[in-house]
Structure 1
Amino acid sequence: MIAGLISYLRGNEKKTAIVAKERLQIILAHERAGRNAPTPDYLPALQEELMVVIAKYIHIDRESINVQLEKHGEYDVLELNITLPDKMRLNR
């Protein structure tokens, strides 16, 4: 009962990961509708948002994140590569 009251008072705030997942699903749905587009326009913005989220936890360079969209048959595959430094500095 107390947990329910606390969640009611906090509101229905969504966590960052859930919001990012929903945005990514919307972007992929739009891209599937327009499959003839050679290069998605949203990849630089997506890469920038990912950089901001990851930078909350560890320090990495902008060049360390690579986002690509590839087609494998009837599926679109979003590939995310993050090169982590040898010595990780945590941002907390």
Structure 2
Amino acid sequence: MALLDYLLGQRRKSSANKAKDRLQILLAHERSHAKAPDYLPKMREEILAVIAKYVEIEEDNLKISLDEENGFEILELNLVLPEGKG
């Protein structure tokens, strides 16, 4: 039966569905980045500069995201600080 399914293209449908799902995920990811305001990269740099005055941090440890919930825009900042010296 598997040979018949293969010859009739049944396996291609499942791989096509997988490809379609992957494309939808990529498009959703791209759209979320396209909706981001132009000022976020500059804001990220400035926040890093201010924090760097007080604590030595790596740039990769700062994540900034902008979401919308219940009609409000939410700016979320996640920063991993280094462990303090005892």
TM-score if structure 2 supplies the norm length? 0.55
For structure 2, which runs of at least 5 residues remain unmatched after alignment?
A: 1-33
Query: Using CA pairs below 8 Å that are at least 6 residues apart, which structure has the higher relative contact order?
Result: 1
How much identity, in percent, do the aligned residues show? 40
Structure number with the higher helix fraction is: 2
Q: Which runs of 4+ in 1 moved over 4 A?
A: none
Aligned to 1:50: 47
For structure 1, which runs of at least 5 residues remain unmatched after alignment?
A: 1-36
Aligned to 2:5: none
For 1:38 and 1:52, locate their aligned partners in 2 and report how far apart those are by CA, in whole Å. Answer: 25
- Tell me the number of residue pairs that the alignment of Structure 1 and Structure 2 aligns: 52
Aligned-residue RMSD, C-alpha: 1.5
Give the number of the structure whose alpha-carbon radius of gyration is greater. Answer: 2
For 1:84 and 1:70, locate their aligned partners in 2 and report how far apart those are by CA, in whole Å. Answer: 23
Equivalent of 1:70 in 53, 64, 67:
67
